[in-house]
Amino acid sequence: MARRSGPRLLDWINTPSHLQFNPFILTGYRPASSISGCVRSLFYLHNELGNIYIHGSVLYHLFMCHRGGNRVYSHLLALDMCGVWLANSLGAIPMIQCTLVCWPSLRLFTLVMYAFLSVMAGWRALTALSTTARLQAFGWQAIARLLVFGIRWLGIGTGAPRSLLCYLRMDALALLGGLVNVARLPERWGPGIFDYWCNSHQIMHFLSVISILQMHAGVVPDLVWAASHDYACPED
């Protein structure tokens, strides 16, 4: 993937304003392109190539340089945030279900409250104007999950014993990735050095993938445990 095989790339000052969200990435920006031009960028080096290949938000990173400008970019960002929202919202449901299986009334209340917090998080994430605000949008969801984690940690809740640590690692990795992305590290320490590889957004993507794998590693044993029917609830 030689850089010369694609169009002439732009530096930060010459890229469209809606793409100037990281002033520490100085070079490697693609020029405004058609749909086919965006697709061709899969095959030459630019500063979004790593983000395209290492994470699920492929459409956002592939077509963010579309010549439709900020209008197209805003729709792509909203679509990307919907994916983040779905992972955060739906991933917690099996954990809540299994943790509170012996307390159906509390389980129903918790699921309803978590659904409400999820709707609010989705709205805030879609209307946020900065990376920091988008991270903060999911804060109450994270706090609610931690409360459920605490119930299981104290031995009050139920579920597969090995799942809890997976869930804790899931949230810890997702939070770490979000903080790295907001802090713009390590490119803040060396503007221009991490333009193509190992910048904060790529690190966030990598940690997010591991986080999702941890969620899977926790949910599967929980579902197997719930299906086994060999657990006993405490007597009233």
pLDDT tens digits along 39-50: 999 999 999 999
Flag the least confident range among 50-59, 109-118, 135-144.
50-59
Average pLDDT over residues 102-117: 95
Closest to 160 in 3D by CA, of 206, 232, 210, 95:
95
> What is the pLDDT at residue 229?
67
Q: What is the pLDDT of residues 156-183, one digit of tens each?
A: 889 998 999 999 999 999 999 999 999 9
Reading phi first (left if > 0) and then psi (alpha if -120 to 50, else beta), residue 166 is in alpha
Q: How many residues in the chain?
A: 236
Q: Are 147 and 141 in contact (CB under 8 A)?
A: no
Give the integer Cα–Cα distance in Å for 7 and 178. 32
Q: How far is CA 172 from CA 75, 168, 175, in A?
A: 29, 6, 5
Place of tokens 């954990």: 95
> What is the pLDDT at residue 155?
87
Give the integer Cα–Cα distance in Å for 121 and 66. 28
Give the integer Cα–Cα distance in Å for 132 and 181. 9
> What is the pLDDT at residue 35?
97
Average pLDDT over residues 94-106: 93
Reported pTM? 0.91
> What is the pLDDT at residue 228?
83
Q: What percent of the chain has pLDDT over 90?
A: 87
**Other beta carbons within 10 Å of 48:** 22
Question: Residue 3: which pLDDT band, with cuts at 50, 70 and 90?
Answer: very low
Residue 235 has pLDDT above 70, yes or no: no
Q: Residue 228 burial by CB count (10 A; 0-12/13-18/19+): exposed, middle or buried?
A: exposed
